[in-house]
Structure 1
Amino acid sequence: MAAGTQRFPVGLLTAWTATRLLLLLFVLKFLVFPGPDVTTDVSVIYQGWYEVLRGGTYPLGDVTWQYPPGAALAILSPALLPFLGYAPAFFALVLLSDLVVLALLCSAGTRPGGAQRGAWVWVVGVALLGPTVYARYDVMVTAVAVAALLAGARHPRVMGALAAFGALLKVWPVLLLVGARKRAAWLSAAVTGSVLAALFAVWMPGAFAFLTFQRERGTEIESLGALALHVARQFGWEGQVLLNYGSVEFLGPYVDVVSMAALLLSAAAFGWLALWRLRARRFAPHTLAEAAFVAVLMFTTTSRVISPQYMVWLVGLAAVCLCFRAGRMVVPAYLVLAACLLTVLEFPVWFDHVVASDWLGVLLLFARNGLLVLATLFAALELWQDTVGLRREEVVHRPEERRPQSPDGLLDPTAPGQ
């Protein structure tokens, strides 16, 4: 096979082109995707923020603005394509970001010890999530995260700077640093994050108003904790499902208890990550990506909110993990892909069933969230065994203790342990 074909396989490019063309046809409304219109976030909410941001301030009066200050760059980015309307320009930039991720993964797959399966995970995972992926700015953030992880081993300063920039776009990329061992990565992240945060604060007023809005969020109906409330509705619980703080949430008795339980579960997960970092003693080239994958899985699965676009983060990180032939995250990655298929079914295809908490909606959520829990547990176990626990090959090849021998060279049957 020619070198050029290895770098950019024809089959992979064909699959990406076909699936992305279909996604564009859906978001541009040449084809109609089942369920509610997922593009209103761009044509109404994002475009409304765009007008406010162009006026020189963050959307201070809009509680749905729950993003760090760097998100303004994503919302303003369609201005780079003034010859298109806001929504088409946004979709075009998401498509470009998608292609950048594919190119990064393909390039990583051609390195020594690399594999192209990571690029396939990206192509398939994004396609399974449907048009929602192109109607949110999460692909842009994921592109920054993928670039950071792939730069991590060779260029820790670049990795740290990209992780900090990503965190100012949507917070979660700060978790990429969990597995970073070199001080340069942390120092670079701290300096870059501080400088950029200061610049955003000076640029426009209200850069950090999102912190208040985010704190007031409740339990979103697609989250893990929401399953308890979906079941409670079957037994007469009197809560409501309403659009609140930018997402469809449960409101009513005991919702605060469920939200607190989710926060405690997240705290426990991050406690495990801290313990892992203290105990880890083996760091392979793939460990940085796998630690980030586990951290974001834990963050997503235990969160009070699991919006469909969150799955894009997991697909991107799973794809990076599978770019390493020696990586151990194959099973968790495939579980995430299965969860992507169920995600597009629960939103947008059958979202009305989820809102109604009927048997189909509850079953879909149990299955999707159950897959995320399994993926998290499997991934955490693999990471622990690979970096902390005793590897299987070490058990097999561990030298046995020398046993005393008799003068004729045979084992002494009277020696201890016989």
Structure 2
Amino acid sequence: MRLLRSRWTVPATVLVWLVTRAALMAVYAQVVPGLDAGEVFADVDLYRRWSGQLRDGRVPGTDPMWQYPPGAAALFVAVGWVAESTRTGYTTVFVMFALGADLVVLLALIRLSRGGNRIGGALCWALAVPLLSLLTYARYDVFVTAPAVLALAATVRRPALAGAMLAVGALAKVWPAILLITARPLRGLRPMSIGFVTAAAVLGAVLTVSYADAWSGFSDNQADRGLQVESVAATPLVLARVADPAIVVEYRYGAMEFSHPVATSVAAVLPGSTLAGLGLLGWWWLFRGRRIDWTPTVGFDLALLAVGVAVVTSRVLSPQYLLWLLGLAAVCLTRRDTTQRAPALLIVVATVLTSAYFPWFYPDVIGTPGWPGAVLLAARNAVLVAATVIGLRRLLVGHRVVPQVRTATVGHRQPVGGTVGLGRTRTSG
């Protein structure tokens, strides 16, 4: 019976993916032709406009909404080229590309599940992603989640390839570089770092040559960003604004940000908080990671927590960022010995809350203040903080330090007649 269940888990998971994605594509077919999908697909229209400029060999660095490394340019141009070659709308081609990236993540998770014995991760991805509805296919982030998940899948046997995949993701949206922390310290870091540096150097050189001012605008526009209304740190201002509508929200750098002295001060502190949080995880990895029984599961758990720390301490927390966390949570769930089951469940809950407030109650947050949207957003952020805190605790408790046993040999003679002789081996722990 157990063998039979195992045999059918993978087909059942694939069927769930096919049914849910077919339903989403049916919604897309109904929504987009009538195109009041402007709120959801506004970013894709922006990618389309950028692609024309990118094909001329120049990144739109002067546009404050351009905040990507040059790897993003390759995708936007590829979508434009296929759309033009097939005489298909840019939005439709982008959705098809995103659907393909979604499928890549599913297949990587099934591969990690080893024939269905631990299919929970793939099933989590198949069921949880539709909770974001069409947002998954109307934003860029699934294209970054895919190489990150592929990299984690490759860490088990091919760390150099894992590093190369992380470089691909980092050239698109930086955060996959954090996942270098998933390597076994310090021995496993070398092959992964070689793959990362080699791929980043080669691809980075190609992109630099292909686009004039390839890195223009990326770091400057990111550094100038303020406190987005959806970020965790902005939650008190979101709630305060319901009582005091005079608190101003402005559209800047492609997002709604608070224009308030408190927001300015908080935004200035948050990058340091992110570095401090990641630094503490790095300390754990370097000094404690070498003393535990390191397995791929430890690296997977650490990956989810590292990105979780980066998300909850960020100045920006757009709805599509949940895809990053869902992908990494699903990777953790491919392992029976993961410490991150409760955080993974909380991330799914946060996804449900995200889909509830965006786009339905989003005007309560950015327009005329209202309690439904403010409460939903505050609850979502509280759940994400809880997932991170619980995950950190579970990591420390679940992967305990293994006592080190030192062996020393004193002398060369063997014990005689049951007495303790000079040749006895002495152990201490």
TM-score interval, smaller chain: 0.7 to 0.9
Structure 2 letter corresponding to 1:290: D
Deviation, 1:40, is: 1.9
Are the equivalent residues in 1 in contact too, given 2:98–2:143 (CA < 8 A)?
Answer: yes
Matched positions, count:
389
With over 3 angstroms needed to count, the CA separation of the structure-2 counterparts of 1:223 and 1:359, relative to structure 1, is same
Deviation, 1:157, is: 0.3
- Alignment-derived partner of residue 352 in structure 1: 363
2:284 and 2:35 map into 1 onto residues whose CA distance is 43
1:152 and 1:3 map into 2 onto residues whose CA distance is 30
Of the three residues 389, 393, 397, the one matched with 1:381 is 393
- SS state of the match for residue 77, structure 2? helix
- Alignment-derived partner of residue 138 in structure 2: 135
Deviation, 1:59, is: 0.9
Deviation, 1:275, is: 1.9
Q: Which moved more, 1:99-108 or 1:382-391?
A: 382-391
With over 3 angstroms needed to count, the CA separation of the structure-2 counterparts of 1:236 and 1:21, relative to structure 1, is same
Are the equivalent residues in 1 in contact too, given 2:108–2:150 (CA < 8 A)?
Answer: yes
1:352 and 1:177 map into 2 onto residues whose CA distance is 39
- Alignment-derived partner of residue 264 in structure 1: 272
With over 3 angstroms needed to count, the CA separation of the structure-2 counterparts of 1:9 and 1:188, relative to structure 1, is closer
Q: Which moved more, 1:157-166 or 1:9-18?
A: 9-18
Map 1:90-239 to 2 at 5 A.
Answer: 90-110=94-114, 114-181=117-184, 182=188, 183-209=190-216, 210-234=218-242, 236=244, 238-239=246-247
With over 3 angstroms needed to count, the CA separation of the structure-2 counterparts of 1:87 and 1:145, relative to structure 1, is same
Deviation, 1:208, is: 1.3
Q: Which moved more, 1:358-367 or 1:332-341?
A: 358-367
Alignment pair present for 1:339 and 2:356: no
Are the equivalent residues in 1 in contact too, given 2:245–2:369 (CA < 8 A)?
Answer: no
Alignment pair present for 1:15 and 2:16: yes
2:7 and 2:330 map into 1 onto residues whose CA distance is 17
1:54 and 1:5 map into 2 onto residues whose CA distance is 48
Deviation, 1:322, is: 0.6
Q: C-alpha offsets along residues 65-104 of structure 1, whole Å, 9 cap, x if unaligned?
A: 1011101122123223531221111111111111111111
With over 3 angstroms needed to count, the CA separation of the structure-2 counterparts of 1:49 and 1:35, relative to structure 1, is closer
Deviation, 1:327, is: 1.5
- Alignment-derived partner of residue 405 in structure 1: none
Q: Which moved more, 1:190-199 or 1:6-15?
A: 6-15
Q: Which moved more, 1:277-286 or 1:370-379?
A: 277-286
Deviation, 1:212, is: 0.6
Deviation, 1:235, is: 5.0
Structure 2 letter corresponding to 1:207: A
Structure 2 residues without counterparts, runs of 5 or longer: 404-429
Structure 1 letter corresponding to 2:155: G
What's the RMSD between the two structures over aligned residues? 2.4
Structure 1 residues without counterparts, runs of 5 or longer: 392-418
2:201 and 2:355 map into 1 onto residues whose CA distance is 37
Deviation, 1:350, is: 1.1
TM-score (norm 1): 0.87
Are the equivalent residues in 2 in contact too, given 1:34–1:349 (CA < 8 A)?
Answer: no
- SS state of the match for residue 271, structure 1? helix
With over 3 angstroms needed to count, the CA separation of the structure-2 counterparts of 1:35 and 1:363, relative to structure 1, is farther
Q: Which moved more, 1:268-277 or 1:363-372?
A: 268-277
Structure 2 letter corresponding to 1:105: L
Deviation, 1:111, is: 5.2
Q: C-alpha offsets along residues 135-186 of structure 1, whole Å, 9 cap, x if unaligned?
A: 0121121111111000002101000111111100111111111121211101
1:321 and 1:173 map into 2 onto residues whose CA distance is 16
Q: C-alpha offsets along residues 299-324 of structure 1, whole Å, 9 cap, x if unaligned?
A: 11111110011000100001111111
Map 1:360-399 to 2 at 5 A.
Answer: 360-388=372-400
Are the equivalent residues in 2 in contact too, given 1:35–1:347 (CA < 8 A)?
Answer: no
- Alignment-derived partner of residue 80 in structure 1: 82
- SS state of the match for residue 97, structure 2? helix
Of the three residues 288, 292, 298, the one matched with 1:279 is 288
2:266 and 2:155 map into 1 onto residues whose CA distance is 37
Are the equivalent residues in 2 in contact too, given 1:180–1:186 (CA < 8 A)?
Answer: no
- Alignment-derived partner of residue 256 in structure 2: 248
Deviation, 1:271, is: 2.3
Are the equivalent residues in 1 in contact too, given 2:31–2:37 (CA < 8 A)?
Answer: no
With over 3 angstroms needed to count, the CA separation of the structure-2 counterparts of 1:164 and 1:230, relative to structure 1, is same
1:109 and 1:313 map into 2 onto residues whose CA distance is 19
1:33 and 1:299 map into 2 onto residues whose CA distance is 34
TM-score (norm 2): 0.85
1:353 and 1:235 map into 2 onto residues whose CA distance is 12
1:300 and 1:34 map into 2 onto residues whose CA distance is 30
Q: C-alpha offsets along residues 270-303 of structure 1, whole Å, 9 cap, x if unaligned?
A: 1221221122222112112111111001111111
